[in-house]
Amino acid sequence: MYEDKITKQLKSIFTSTLTDEVLVGIGDDCAVIRQKQDLVISTDILVQDVHFKLEWSSACDIAYRAFAQNLADVAAMGGRGVAMVVAIGLPLELESQWLLDFANAFKNVAEKNSVAVIGGDLSKSSALTIAVTVLGSLDGREPVTRSGAKVGDKVAVCGKIGSSAIGFKKLKSGLVNTQIDDQNITDFLYPTPNYAQGIWASENGARAMIDTSDGLFKDASRIAKASGVTIKLFSAEESVPKQEYYFGGEDHALLACFPPDVELNNSWNVIGEVIEQGENEVEAIDLLDDDLSNAFDHFGGGIYV
């Protein structure tokens, strides 16, 4: 795999994603974008055998997931995706065709969501590693942070909770994506955040919001801690096991706190309320103390332990 040759191929692939906001794309020392409004910036990383397994995931699967988990962070701030840069560490045993398949899949989802891919980096690596930095615009709106929840707010979610974790368990048990048409496995491999609802939430009074990448309980506790409140969650959905519902992670749903008088659209479901700060950051009537050690932690050994 020759770097200059592959860079030329990648530039050709991603040219179609460029928008009027991009002045300089792939091929220079830096990309250049023009913005008049405040930028939101986030970075996420995917590491082989920590966040995905090649036995389970195609290049297309990994590209889709890398894109989704980054743009979901922008949506959780009430922003619109503008551009991404993608850095990839490749094991020598991976053929160049894998990278081209990844690039084409990433291009397709970027075009669909009007996000320009404007650069990145390539390196050899002992494990496949993908780091994406996303740039977004607030288009004149104020950012929706984690710290604005108020007592009396209703807590609502946009997206599925727990399905991705169920899909992971099925994959871990031996099912493979190509062997079965299973919605839970699809939700794990292909998360589908409703990005536009992040903007809708911002425009309709959301006071705090987060992307549920690390599980409902843990991400709700982050809002509660930042806001100085307690979040009281109602019972888990009957169709989802309690463990996966509260602690599963990787759903990339949007969790937001709205004033009680805000009328939510059909994309949102109320799952709790904000109450005065108590002993615990999150309360759930169907959780026991023994359940609370199960939240996902990136430094706890990874999801494959």
Q: Please give the mean pLDDT across all residues of the chain.
A: 91
Task: Mention the CATH class of domain 3-137.
Answer: alpha beta
pLDDT digits (tens, 9 = 90+) for 74-119: 999 999 999 999 999 999 999 889 999 999 999 999 999 999 999 9
Express each pLDDT in 236-253 by its tens digit. 888 899 999 999 999 999
Average pLDDT over residues 171-194: 82
pLDDT in the model for residue 301: 43
Tokens of 278: 């108590």
* Per-residue confidence band for 173, with pLDDT thresholds at 50, 70 and 90: confident
The structure's pTM equals 0.90
pLDDT value at position 303?
47
- pLDDT (tens digit, 9 = 90+) per residue, 124-150? 999 999 999 999 999 999 999 999 999
The CA radius of gyration of the chain, in Å to the nearest whole number, is: 20
Are 108 and 62 a contacting pair, CB within 8 Å?
Answer: no
What is the C-alpha separation between 18 and 24, in angstroms, rounded?
9
252-294 pLDDT, tens digit per residue, is: 999 999 999 999 999 999 999 999 999 999 999 888 654 555 5
**Token pair of 228, please?**
């100085």
pLDDT above 90 covers what percent of the chain?
A: 75
Domain ranges of the chain: 3-137, 154-293
176 compared with 100, residue with greater pLDDT = 100
Determine whether domain 154-293 maps to CATH 3.90.650.10.
Answer: yes
Please name the amino acid found at residue 52. F
Angle CA 71–74–79, to nearest 5: 125
Exposed, middle or buried: residue 205 (CB in 10 Å: 0-12, 13-18, 19+)? middle
Q: What is the three-state SS of the chain?
A: CCHHHHHHHHHHHHHHHCCCCEEECECECCCEECCCCCEEEEEEEEEECCCECCCCCCHHHHHHHHHHHHHHHHHHCCCEEEEEEEEEEECCCCCHHHHHHHHHHHHHHHHHCCCEEEEEEEEECCCCEEEEEEEEECCCCCCCCCCCCCCCCEEEEECCCCHHHHHHHHHHCCCCCCCCCCHHHHHHHCCCCCHHHHHHHHHCCCCEEEECCCCHHHHHHHHHHHHCCEEEECCCCCCCCHHHHHHCCCCCCEEEEECCCCCCCCCCEEEEEEECCCCCCEEECCCCHHHHHCCCCCCCCCCCC
